[in-house]
Chain A
Amino acid sequence: NAGVMQNPRHLVRRRGQEARLRCSPMKGHSHVYWYRQLPEEGLKFMVYLQKENIIDESGMPKERFSAEFPKEGPSILRIQQVVRGDSAAYFCASSPPGLGRAGRNTIYFGEGSWLTVV
Chain B
Amino acid sequence: DAKTTQPTSMDCAEGRAANLPCNHSTISGNEYVYWYRQIHSQGPQYIIHGLKNNETNEMASLIITEDRKSSTLILPHATLRDTAVYYCIVRVESGGSNYKLTFGKGTLLTVNP
Contact = CB atoms under 8 A, between A and B. Distances in A.
A28 interface: no
B49 A106 contact: yes
Tell me whether chain B's interface is mostly helix, strand or loop, or mixed.
Answer: loop
Interface in B65-113: 87, 91, 94-106
Contacts of A108: 46
A103 interface: yes
Contact of A103 (B32, B41, B43, B106): B32
A69 interface: no
Given A1-B42, A98-B97, A103 B104 contact: no
A70 B30 CA distance: 32
- Which range holds the interface residue count of chain A? 20 to 34
B42 A43 contact: no
- Which range holds the interface residue count of chain B? 20 to 34
Contacts of A44: 103
Contact of B98 (A45, A56, A106, A110): A56
B51 A103 contact: yes
A108 B97 CA distance: 19
Interface of B: 30, 32, 34, 36, 38, 41-46, 49, 51, 87, 91, 94-106
Interface of A: 1, 4, 31, 33, 35, 42-45, 48, 55-56, 89, 91, 93, 98-101, 103, 106-112
